[in-house]
């Protein structure tokens, strides 16, 4: 409270209130109000200092995944502020906060560009192939700012360090890689091209002064060819598919012919085996018969032959008893068989004793 107001209360005290009435009782100024006049200047300074501190913000809080770059009168400190609470000198020092989490930049066609949080969208890269035909490349680059190198990056490259590093580097790399191939080769050698782009991009980032960027990966998403080249490639692919289909049909026919030939060979082999079996059986039977004949021949002794002759002669004698006019012809030497003929019936002849019967 101002000092003149305090003097006013001393010179013009409020009339005492009467007890029991509306104005009853005595009014006395509180002690702290009476003493406020002598300390008002101190309170003003305290209140002003608090307001100044609030407005000046002599501190900064760095969140996880961020670093702070301290600048004192325009000069950057080499060591960054890590996540946490940090004090600074207002109006003399300031802190630039930089994100060190993974960043993504997409190079896409204008039709697919979108405003997605955390992803930097740019138009796809247009380059020339080995014959000078224009092709467009869609890809994604993932990278992050190295926390320890953040002060150096801001001091040497500025706040737009990405536009001075990632964008020109990836465009130069894509241009140099695609220039080694024709447009027709690009779809066929997609994997080889993607590997070459990522390798060269890493080499380019590592050559940057201070190596402030950590490249996480490069993904080749698509290659847009000129319409005529695309049409030619589609025609070639259709012709290849037709040729492949024809080769498959020929191969199937060949396999079918081989199967039938194998079946025929199997049947022929089966017939040969069966014929060989029949021949072997006939041979075995002939050999058995020959052995039997040999055994019979070896068993014909003179005594056995004489016995057989006696048996036959006995049969002739029985026949002569019934037909006394029959003629008997003996083989030379009297050997078996003997033949006789009945003269009473010239048309009938009997052979007795042939083979012993």
pLDDT tens digits, one per residue of 327-347: 655 554 444 555 555 555 544
CA distances from 93 to 97, 223, 236 (A): 13, 49, 67
- CA end-to-end distance (rounded Å), the chain: 174
User: pLDDT band at 3, cuts 50/70/90?
Assistant: very low
Sorted by where each begins, the domain ranges of the chain are 3-56, 59-99, 103-225, 228-299, 302-356
The CATH number for 103-225, chosen from 3.40.640.10, 1.10.3720.10, 3.30.479.30, 3.20.20.120, is 3.30.479.30
What's residue 69's pLDDT?
Answer: 93
According to DSSP, the residues that pair with 174 across neighbouring strands are none
Report d(CA 344, CA 126) in Å as an integer: 134
What's residue 352's pLDDT?
Answer: 43
pLDDT tens digits, one per residue of 10-21: 555 555 544 444
Query: Mean pLDDT, to the nearest integer, of 296-302?
Result: 73
Of 10-14, 168-172, 187-191, 243-247, the one with minimum mean pLDDT is 10-14
User: 216 vs 284, which has greater pLDDT?
Assistant: 216
88 pLDDT above the threshold of 80: yes
Report the mean per-residue pLDDT for the chain. Answer: 78
- Backbone φ, ψ for residue 264 (5° rounding): -60, -40
125 contacts 168 by C-beta, under 8 angstroms: no
Report d(CA 245, CA 208) in Å as an integer: 53
User: Residue 225: how many CB atoms within 10 A of its CB?
Assistant: 19
- Backbone φ, ψ for residue 92 (5° rounding): -115, -40
78 contacts 67 by C-beta, under 8 angstroms: no
What's residue 354's pLDDT?
Answer: 44
Q: Give the pairing type, strands 103-108 and 119-123.
A: parallel
pLDDT tens digits, one per residue of 124-170: 999 998 988 899 999 999 999 999 999 999 999 989 998 899 999 99
The DSSP code for 356 is G
């Amino acid at each position: 409270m101002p000092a003149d107001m305090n003097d006013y209360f001393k010179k013009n005290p409020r009339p005492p209130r009467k007890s029991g009435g509306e104005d009853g009782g005595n009014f006395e100024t509180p002690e702290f109000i009476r003493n406020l006049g002598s300390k008002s200047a101190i309170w003003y300074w305290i209140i002003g200092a608090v307001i100044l501190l609030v407005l000046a913000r002599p501190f900064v809080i760095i969140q996880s995944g961020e670093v702070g770059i301290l600048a004192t009168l325009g000069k950057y400190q080499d060591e960054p502020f890590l996540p946490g609470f940090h004090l600074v000198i207002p109006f003399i020092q300031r802190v630039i906060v930089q994100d060190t989490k993974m960043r993504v930049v997409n190079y896409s066609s204008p039709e697919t560009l979108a405003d997605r949080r955390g992803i930097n969208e740019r138009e796809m890269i247009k380059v020339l192939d080995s014959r000078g035909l224009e092709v467009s490349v869609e890809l994604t680059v993932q990278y992050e700012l190295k926390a320890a190198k953040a002060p150096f990056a801001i001091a040497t490259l500025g706040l737009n360090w990405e536009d001075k590093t990632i964008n020109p580097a990836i465009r130069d790399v894509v241009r140099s890689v695609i220039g080694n191939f024709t447009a027709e080769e690009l779809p066929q050698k997609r994997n080889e091209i993607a590997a070459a782009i990522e390798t060269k991009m890493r080499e380019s980032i590592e050559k940057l002064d201070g190596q402030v960027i950590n490249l996480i990966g490069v993904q080749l998403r698509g290659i847009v060819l000129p319409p005529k080249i695309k049409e030619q490639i589609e025609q070639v692919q259709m012709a290849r598919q037709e040729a492949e289909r024809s080769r498959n049909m020929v191969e199937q026919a060949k396999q079918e012919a081989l199967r039938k030939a194998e079946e025929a060979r199997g049947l022929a082999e089966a017939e040969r085996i069966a014929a060989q079996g029949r021949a072997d059986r006939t041979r075995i039977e002939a050999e058995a018969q020959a052995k039997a004949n040999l055994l019979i021949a070896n068993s014909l002794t003179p005594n056995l032959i004489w016995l057989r002759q006696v048996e036959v002669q006995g049969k002739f004698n029985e026949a002569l008893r019934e037909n006394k006019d029959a003629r008997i012809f003996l083989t030379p030497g009297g050997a078996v068989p003997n033949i006789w003929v009945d003269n009473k019936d010239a048309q009938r002849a009997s052979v007795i004793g042939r083979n012993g019967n």
